[in-house]
Amino acid sequence: MTDTSRDIATELLDAALMHVPFDGWSDTAFRAAIEELDISPTVAKGLFPRGAIDLATAFHRRGDDVMLQALRDHDLSGMRFRDQVAQAVRLRLETVEDKEAVRRGVTLFALPMHAAEGAKLIWGTADHIWTALGDTSDDINWYTKRVTLSGVYSSTVLYWLGDDSLDNQATWAFLERRIDDVMQVEQVKAQVRKAPGLGKLIKGADAFLTRVKPPKTRRTDLPGGWTVPR
């Protein structure tokens, strides 16, 4: 995108956000934003080919960008790694200025025809977090880390949407419990590897799984600017 098209895209998203609480991420909200900005529908469709679904995608990706900047501004060096992950998820939610826009997005991406899109967005957020925290895994762990964090993130979002506690304290406690659950699973896996008899079996499986590698290239030519493994 040129600087001009990027500015128009930002303006369209901001204008649409004024209507999302009432109309959801819908063509109605998309058309209203176009009319308010008095721009050509052709230009708008060129920036958001799929209309509202691309607007919702852009909103989510904007949150990821803000989170990444917040992570760069925070000193996490003195924190345990599990706490760094928790802090990243918390920062991602704290970047949200309009919880209702997220709620409407969850509703949109829960629809069968858009479920795959929502899964890609959540995977992208998990990938951003692991990459920002310096993940260097180059085997099956690259995938399992992102799958696990996607589950933690998505469940925390759903809890957060219904949380009315002071400063979202109940959500942060829920997040801590989810990460603790993940850590316990990892501890069990470590113990199984040491178990007599099972140890050799696990090592054999690990040797096979080390051949699985993360994607070396990514596509950025999908509608709405998706960035997913090829």
pLDDT of 204 higher than 80: no
State residue 6's pLDDT score.
Answer: 60
Bridge partners of residue 219, in order along the sequence: 228
State residue 114's pLDDT score.
Answer: 96
**Nearby residues of 166 by Cβ (< 8 Å), 6 or more positions away:** none
Q: Which band of pLDDT confidence, cut at 50, 70 and 90, is reported for residue 39?
A: very high
The pTM (predicted TM-score) of the whole model is 0.82
Average pLDDT, the chain: 84
Q: Are 146 and 133 in contact (CB under 8 A)?
A: no
State residue 141's pLDDT score.
Answer: 84
pLDDT of 84 higher than 80: yes
Residue entry with tokens 């949109």: 108
pLDDT of 192 higher than 50: no
State residue 137's pLDDT score.
Answer: 84
State residue 185's pLDDT score.
Answer: 56
For the domain covering 53-229, report its CATH number.
1.10.357
User: pLDDT > 70: what percent of the chain?
Assistant: 78
State residue 67's pLDDT score.
Answer: 97
Quick: pLDDT tens for 142-189: 888 899 999 999 999 999 999 999 999 999 999 999 998 887 755 555
State residue 215's pLDDT score.
Answer: 73
22 CA to centre of own chain: 24
Cα Rg for the chain, rounded, in angstroms? 20
Closest of 112, 128, 141 to residue 60, by C-alpha: 128
State residue 80's pLDDT score.
Answer: 92
Q: Which band of pLDDT confidence, cut at 50, 70 and 90, is reported for residue 13?
A: very high
Q: Are 88 and 94 in contact (CB under 8 A)?
A: no
Give the start-to-end residue ranges of the domains of the chain.
1-49, 53-229
State residue 35's pLDDT score.
Answer: 96
Bridge partners of residue 229, in order along the sequence: 218
Q: Which band of pLDDT confidence, cut at 50, 70 and 90, is reported for residue 140?
A: confident
State residue 222's pLDDT score.
Answer: 39
